[in-house]
Amino acid sequence: MKRIPLEYAILGVAVAATLAVVHPARAQGAAERTADQVKRGQYLVSTSACHDCHTPWKMGPKGPEPDMTRALSGHPENVAMPPPPKLEGPWVGAMAATMTAWAGPWGVSFTANLTPDPETGLGKWTKRNFIETIRTGRHMGRGREVLPPMPIAVYRNFTDADLEAIFSYLQSLPAIRNRVPEPLPPSTPVATAK
Amino acid sequence: MKPVAIFAITLSAATFAAAAPGASVEPVPQRLSETGLFVPGSTRMASGVMPFSPQYPLWSDGTRKRRWIQLPPGAAIDASRVDAWDFPVGTKLWKEFGYGRAIETRLIERVADGSWRFATYVWSADGSDALLAPADGAVVPVSDAPGGRYAVPGRGDCVACHEGAAVPVLGFTALQLSPDRDPLAPHADQPRAGDVDLRSLVARGALRGLPSGLLAAPPRIEAPSPTARAALGYLHGNCGHCHNAAGALTGLDLVLAQQADGVAHSSQRTLESLLGHASRFRPHGGEATQRIAAGRGGSVLTLRMKTDNPLARMPPLGVRVVDTEGVALIERWIANDLKPALSTSQETSR
């Protein structure tokens, strides 16, 4: 067998030692960044009223409270809603006791499942899909409009870094399978062909 | 050019200009006549402006449409990536929409930093010129439009469709400009004199790098029947700009865009993404759960094409009137080409 020159051997050992030190450090740095991002996302979600509508509310011993066993899973699929009440005068909206179904001039909207369930939540969404949804007010940036009461006009002021942090946090949640109903249209007539 | 007559919209200072900060890009012109489409002082097309008509046009509530492209002098499109053409900086495309008279003309332009910008111009009633519309769109009273109101898209609407594919230019592609045109394509215009297609673009030197095999045998959707070919083409032209394998919505695993490069694989990929798949969208009442279904309840695909519910309709923007001809084609395709196979597989699986 051909002998490896001593200086090459030393160089090889040095490179291997450097990689052994640097790579774990890099991996650890990335993990810390991700953990920091998730923590930042959790902070933004908890201070931006996301639970108010995307977590179903229940009656607790001290009154209404979010049901954190179903945190951010949207309108419960097993809660069937009757038609909304007819409102008069300056009253234009109504909401369900769960805070997850809302009626108004736009129709009836049901809050989305934000957990990473692949079939009923955001499990197949990408960061880009999430950011474009908030920026454009359309599902995944190109589908139907996101409906009231979602405060898109407020949330579109988040920075990309904020939205990435929120998405990272949402993706870190336990997936909850909950198929939220599609919204119902307003009762106003729709356009027809001439 | 005459002064522009009164418009029923208010123009704001905001424009559609979308170039990156710091890039050396001229502001979007305030008038269509300043964009290079016309011979100065007229509404005749300028030299170098080439008309074209895609074989699978987008349904736009029955509007009459005309389209043009202009490349910078001496420049050419690089077609070496057959389904993602690289357009030179300075490329401009215009698309005019009208009911009887022209109502709006949209412009997309590749600017100096390589990005694309979008603008739309609303025509005066006397047809003398068109003015830049506000960045958030406008509603124009048009007696022939559905409900007498015509919605001019905002910049966000432009981006929603045009940035959902590999390249923002949607109707000027190898498949759309194939000389082997589909005679059953709904709403397709007969090519007009002077319209460019793949062969004439190559002959002019405006298209380079296109594999020579695609000139000898122009791209054609591979399908077992003429109905299937037209149906796949219709889905390509009306849905494929969002539902494709290269853009933002790949996570949905719904591929309705056809490729000119590898047509057999492309149509097979579409069928695989449609058949045997539960739909994520579930209409109220549970009458349909499959993207395409053989049995009771029908298919979510056609249900969303023909619903009058604006929150469920597909495409989700740019359409308010159901395309009955397009729906009939897709339903015919499902009934005649797909249902026999679906029914057999359902019986086998019982």
ipTM value for the complex:
0.85
Q: Which residues contact A36 (CB under 8 A, 6 or more apart)?
A: none
- Per-residue pLDDT at B3: 36
Contact state of B160 with A179 under an 8 Å Cβ cutoff: no
Closest CA to B276 of B302, B257, B253: B253
- Per-residue pLDDT at A128: 95
Residues B153-163 pLDDT 10s: 999 999 999 99
- Per-residue pLDDT at B340: 65
Write b or e for each residue in B119-155: b if 16 or more Cβ atoms lie within 10 A of its Cβ, otherwise e.
Answer: bbbbbbeeeebbbbbbbebbebebeebbbeebbbbbb
Contact between residue B270 and residue B319 where contact means Cβ atoms under 8 Å apart: no
Spatial distance between the Cα atoms of A145 and B96, rounded to a whole number of angstroms: 26
- CA closest to A130 among chain B residues: B248
- Per-residue pLDDT at A89: 86
Residue pairs between chains A and B whose CB atoms are closer than 8 Å: 77
Write b or e for each residue in B33-49: b if 16 or more Cβ atoms lie within 10 A of its Cβ, otherwise e.
Answer: bebbbbeeeebebeeeb
Contact state of B308 with A190 under an 8 Å Cβ cutoff: yes
Strand partners, B290: B278
Mutate which of B118, B249, B313, B324 to test chain A, going by most A C-beta atoms within 10 A? B249
Residues B143-154 pLDDT 10s: 999 999 999 999
A119 at B interface, C-beta within 8 A: yes
Token pair for residue A1?
């067998």
pLDDT at B26 over 90: no
What are the extents of the domains in chain A?
Answer: 1-187
- Mark which residues 24-53 of A lie under 8 Å from B by CB: none
- The residue ranking higher by pLDDT, A104 or A15, is A104
> What is the residue-averaged pLDDT of chain A?
87
Contact state of A144 with B249 under an 8 Å Cβ cutoff: no
A125 at B interface, C-beta within 8 A: yes
Average pLDDT score over residue span B338-346:
64
pLDDT at B165 over 50: yes
Contact state of A143 with B316 under an 8 Å Cβ cutoff: yes
pLDDT at B225 over 90: yes
Contact between residue A123 and residue A114 where contact means Cβ atoms under 8 Å apart: no
Residue located via tokens 């604006």? B310
Banded model confidence at residue A12, pLDDT cuts 50, 70, 90: low
- CA closest to A127 among chain B residues: B248
Contact state of B312 with A143 under an 8 Å Cβ cutoff: no
pLDDT at A81 over 50: yes
- The residue ranking higher by pLDDT, B128 or B342, is B128
Average pLDDT score over residue span B232-249:
95
- Per-residue pLDDT at A91: 94
Distance from CA of A131 to the nearest CA of B (A): 11
pLDDT at A56 over 80: yes
